[in-house]
Amino acid sequence: MNQITDYLQKQFSAMVELTEEIINVDSPSNDIAGIQKVADILSAKMREIGMQTRQRDSGKQGMALIGELPGEEGLQPVILLGHMDTVFPKGTVEQRPFKLEKDRMTGPGIFDMKPGLVIGLFAIQALVKLKLNRRPVKMIVVSDEEKLHMDSNTYNIIAKECQGGAYGFNLEGTKDDPSHVGTHNRGGMIVDVTVHGRAAHSGAEPEKGRSAIIELAHQIIKLSALSDLQAGVHVNCGVINGGTSENIIPDRATTSLGVRFKTNQQRDQLLERIKSIAATPTVSDTTTTVKVRTKIDSMEDTPAVNKLFAELNQVAQQVGYGKLRAVGGGGASDAGIMVARNVPTIDALGVVGDDAHSEKEHASAKSLLTRSSLIANFIAQKG
Ligand SMILES: [Zn+2]
């Protein structure tokens, strides 16, 4: 057996213990105290391994934890990325704390994605203990992935911290099939389109009004027509708001668009089109503002990503993990932020499980070991 796998096998119960410890702290995206508790546990583990830690304020949604393992001078770091927030409200741990039955782990965030952090940390620990680390390793752990980094500067923190990375792994979970890892993902953004019209009494002097709702209605038809499912582009007018009373011509109406795209070039084109629709009103004397509330870059399977996948696949077969398959998903992933910064990244290297964001969420305990060993072996071999 491979020395890394052998070492990690002896650490298996410690891996499960650390998983239990962080699962049993409620940490929904907006719970700064809960997030801080998880960060404290992770920081202690990072320091124990020999990593330096620091925190970066990300605004209203808490902070990002950065752990750095020094390496040989001149070598670019490997980046490991993950998030410590879950979608479950405070009190969930009390109702259904961490449980392990045979190989099945359950508890809030057990698939999405707290154990991924344990996988990353123990991979680093194995490299350190076996003196196999040449390259520096940087771990970026964020606190509001489940909110798509809305109202925070987490996006910028990831973009800045991953800069100059040699390659990266995102530690989100893999759905059911252990051979699957992620090489591409659509990107997403939320765009608020707000029409400003002119209010007037609809009974007394309707001719003075300019209806923001009527203008928005025209725009919604045009915005929806930007969807091109075959090209992987979708524009969903998911929320509309406007008007105050039946007898007032509404002076304000807004729609929030959920936009998905396959490439970042499509995103830029879409944004141009949305702005051009906003700039050419049907109802005269109305104006429209367009605001991108949040965005996640698409994760494109660039030649560098495909090369990284091929190398990982080779190591996986060498160390007895088995053949890997590159898959993609429809959901936006933080891995896209790294790929867009020219850091080739493979996604979904965390635990193997299913039913994210639901009470049935579960993950395989054995995958803590196999995934951690795969990552450590890869870093050791690639050097
Ligand atoms: Zn996640």
What distance in angstroms lies between residue 321's CA and the mean position of ligand 1's atoms?
A: 24
pLDDT tens by residue, 216-264: 999 999 999 999 999 999 999 999 999 999 999 999 999 999 999 999 9
**Measured distance CA(115)–CA(363) in Å, rounded:** 9
CATH 3.30.70.360 placement within the chain: 187-296
What distance in angstroms lies between residue 82's CA and the mean position of ligand 1's atoms?
A: 8
What distance in angstroms lies between residue 112's CA and the mean position of ligand 1's atoms?
A: 5
Long-range contacts, 155-159 (Cβ 8 Å, 24+)? 155/294, 155/295, 155/296, 155/337, 157/56, 157/58, 157/64, 158/64, 158/81, 158/334, 158/337, 158/338, 159/337, 159/340, 159/341
**Could you tell me which residues come within 8 angstroms of residue 359 by beta carbon, excluding any fewer than 6 positions away?**
96
Catalytic residue, candidates 31, 145, 172, 297: 145
What distance in angstroms lies between residue 79's CA and the mean position of ligand 1's atoms?
A: 17
Q: Which two tokens stand for residue 49?
A: 């391994």
Are residues 195 and 216 in contact, defined by beta-carbon separation less than 8 angstroms?
Answer: yes
**Could you tell me which residues come within 8 angstroms of residue 372 by beta carbon, excluding any fewer than 6 positions away?**
8, 15, 118, 119, 120, 122, 123, 126
What distance in angstroms lies between residue 349's CA and the mean position of ligand 1's atoms?
A: 12
**Measured distance CA(234)–CA(261) in Å, rounded:** 7
The residue among 75, 18, 110, 39 whose CA lies nearest residue 360 is 110
What distance in angstroms lies between residue 113's CA and the mean position of ligand 1's atoms?
A: 5
**Could you tell me which residues come within 8 angstroms of residue 341 by beta carbon, excluding any fewer than 6 positions away?**
159, 162, 163, 165
**Measured distance CA(9)–CA(365) in Å, rounded:** 12
Amino acid 150: pLDDT: 86
**Measured distance CA(31)–CA(39) in Å, rounded:** 12
What distance in angstroms lies between residue 101's CA and the mean position of ligand 1's atoms?
A: 23
Inform me whether the pLDDT recorded for 69 exceeds 90: yes
The domain 3-185+298-382 belongs to what CATH superfamily?
Answer: Zn peptidases (3.40.630.10)
Q: What is the CA radius of gyration of the chain?
A: 23
What distance in angstroms lies between residue 287's CA and the mean position of ligand 1's atoms?
A: 38
Q: What is the phi/psi pair of residue 189, to 5°?
A: -150, 155
Mean pLDDT across 267-279: 97
Q: Coil, strand or helix: which one is 29?
A: coil
What distance in angstroms lies between residue 172's CA and the mean position of ligand 1's atoms?
A: 5
Q: Which CATH architecture has domain 187-296?
A: 2-Layer Sandwich (3.30)
What distance in angstroms lies between residue 170's CA and the mean position of ligand 1's atoms?
A: 10
The C-alpha angle 84, 87, 88, rounded to 5 degrees, equals 105
What distance in angstroms lies between residue 174's CA and the mean position of ligand 1's atoms?
A: 10
Count Cβ atoms below 10 Å from residue 238 Cβ, excluding itself: 11
- Please give all residues whose CB falls under 5 A of ion ligand 1, grouped by chain where several chains appear: 112-113, 172
Task: Verify whether residue 85 is a known catalytic residue.
Answer: yes
Could you tell me the pLDDT band of residue 330, with boundaries at 50, 70 and 90? low
**Measured distance CA(359)–CA(347) in Å, rounded:** 24
CATH 3.40.630.10 placement within the chain: 3-185+298-382
Question: HSE (CB half, 13 Å, CA atoms) of 144?
Answer: 24
Q: Average pLDDT, whole number, for the chain?
A: 95
Could you tell me the pLDDT band of residue 1, with boundaries at 50, 70 and 90? low
How many helices (H) and strands (E) would you count in the chain?
11, 19
What distance in angstroms lies between residue 173's CA and the mean position of ligand 1's atoms?
A: 7
The residue among 129, 84, 126 whose CA lies nearest residue 108 is 84
Mean pLDDT across 17-41: 96
Catalytic residue, candidates 20, 26, 31, 85: 85
What distance in angstroms lies between residue 89's CA and the mean position of ligand 1's atoms?
A: 15
Inform me whether the pLDDT recorded for 147 exceeds 90: no
pLDDT tens by residue, 288-312: 999 999 888 999 999 999 999 999 9
Percentage, residues of the chain above pLDDT 70: 99
